Amino acid sequence: MNEAGDALEPRELRAWMAFLAAGHLVDHEVERQLKRDGGLSHAEFEVLVRLRSAAGRRLRMSDLAREVMVSKSRLTYQVTQLERAGLVKRTGCPSDRRSVWAELTDDGAAALDRVRPGHRRVVREALVDVLTPEEIDLLGAALGRVADRLRER
Amino acid sequence: MNEAGDALEPRELRAWMAFLAAGHLVDHEVERQLKRDGGLSHAEFEVLVRLRSAAGRRLRMSDLAREVMVSKSRLTYQVTQLERAGLVKRTGCPSDRRSVWAELTDDGAAALDRVRPGHRRVVREALVDVLTPEEIDLLGAALGRVADRLRER
DNA sequence: GCAAGATGATTCAAATTCAGACCATTTAGA
DNA sequence: TCTAAATGGTCTGAATTTGAATCATCTTGC
């Protein structure tokens, strides 16, 4: 019934526009809180979060880039900034001398602790608390599938 | 049961991460297609889309900025680029001499026609076709509510 | 053991984005 | 009618992002 290039149906269009708008607006809130409470961009925050939960609090640059979904050159810049702020440090990896470990410092962990409560509050207020538990589950399942599909390419 | 700064429950966390990841990945696809097929960024494309559906194919800069959800200075830059490419033109507004109309040109409309089929295909393949009709509806309702809440601030 | 290609990361210049200052006009209020 | 505040846009310099080029190190296949 719908060819690939046809206009979206109203229901589809509504979903697409809501998806776009919610993405923009929520991210804007998140960005604002992180900047205000810790001087961090959202991407920088994500870097710290991933490092925190990694074994030995460290990851190789390219794995980190993959997880945070940023380009390699962008990550290089961000890690440089974080390093300058003392929140992360770089170490050479002995087994593969091409790669570089980015490692969370104690200051980095502390910075994370400082902003995380506010961050959670924003995620709650902007997204979680606005949805019913059923919606939460369905959102997780549906958008999880969307993300998985796009990752496996 | 949940205080504002507590960690998210697993179900909530899954939804939040899926929301983030899907946002990034879908936007990446959209960006890629628009750049490839028409040399447009997603934001530029949105500008053209809004102008197309506006009365007289034109909007004042600040209304446009509000609709596309970009800062005023960013829109100034983007419209300058689009104008340079001949897809949009600026006109002074006679009733309020502060404001400026951004108006879609015929070339702009043509450019839109050129990229739109591909754009729809991407939205279909990345999002719409991955979801059931029920999920589409629920996504529209739930995220529509999220967006509305954040807009009314 | 070695050349050719893959991989990990950085660098560079150009393009874009940001935040705030700024200018012109309009609106409201005394 | 004036003036202070609000609004609409642009501009500026600094920060960030992009994409291609580069460099060094691994891996493969011979």
Across the interface, whether the CB atoms of B19 and A136 are under 8 A apart is answered no
Nearest nucleotide over every DNA/RNA strand to the B66 CA, judged by C1': D8
Number of alpha carbons in the 13 Å side-chain half-sphere of residue B135: 18
A48 with A82: CB under 8 angstroms? yes
Q: Does residue B145 contact residue B56 with C-beta atoms inside 8 Å? A: no
Predicted local confidence at residue A4, as pLDDT: 63
DSSP states along B6-22: SPPPHHHHHHHHHHHHH
How does pLDDT run across B121-150, given as a tens digit for each residue? 999 999 999 999 999 999 999 999 999 999
In this predicted structure, what is the pLDDT of residue A7?
Answer: 87
Taking the C-alpha atoms of residue B23 and residue A26, their distance in angstroms, rounded to an integer, is 11
Percent of chain A with pLDDT over 70: 96
Q: Name residue B90's beta-bridge partners.
A: B102
User: Count of CB atoms within 10 A of residue B73's CB?
Assistant: 9
Q: Under an 8 A CB cutoff, do A120 and B5 touch?
A: yes
Please work out, in degrees rounded to the nearest 5, the angle formed at the alpha carbon of residue B28 by the alpha carbons of A108 and A61: 35
Residues of A in contact with B26 (CB under 8 A): 19, 146, 150
Query: Angle B72-84/B61-68 helices, nearest 10 degrees?
Result: 110
DSSP of B48-70: HHHHHHSGGGEEEHHHHHHHHT-
DSSP 3-state of B102: strand
pLDDT of A116 reads 96
Asked whether strand D has any atom less than 7 Å from the CB of B93, the reply is yes
| Separation in Å, CA of B13 to nearest CA in chain A | 8
Using pLDDT thresholds of 50, 70 and 90, give the confidence band for residue B4.
low
The model's pTM: 0.93
List CB-based contacts (under 7 A) with strand C: A 35, 60-63, 72-73, 75-77, 79-80, 90, 93, 96, 98-101; B 41, 43, 70-74, 77-78, 81, 96-98
Q: In b/e form, how buried is each residue of A105-132, taking b as 16+ CB within 10 angstroms?
A: beebeebbeebbebbbbbbbebbbebbe
Are residues B138 and A136, on separate chains, in Cβ contact within 8 Å? no
CA of residue B5 to C1' of nucleotide C14, angstroms: 42
pLDDT beyond 90 at B34: yes
Spatial separation of the C-alpha atoms in residues A108 and A45, rounded to whole Å: 10
Quick: pLDDT tens for B99-123.
999 999 999 999 999 999 999 999 9
A8 close to B123: Cβ distance less than 8 angstroms: yes
Mean residue pLDDT across chain B? 95
In strand C, the nucleotides that come within 7 Å of a protein beta carbon are 7-12, 16-21, 24-27
What's the CA B100/C1' C25 distance, rounded, in angstroms?
12
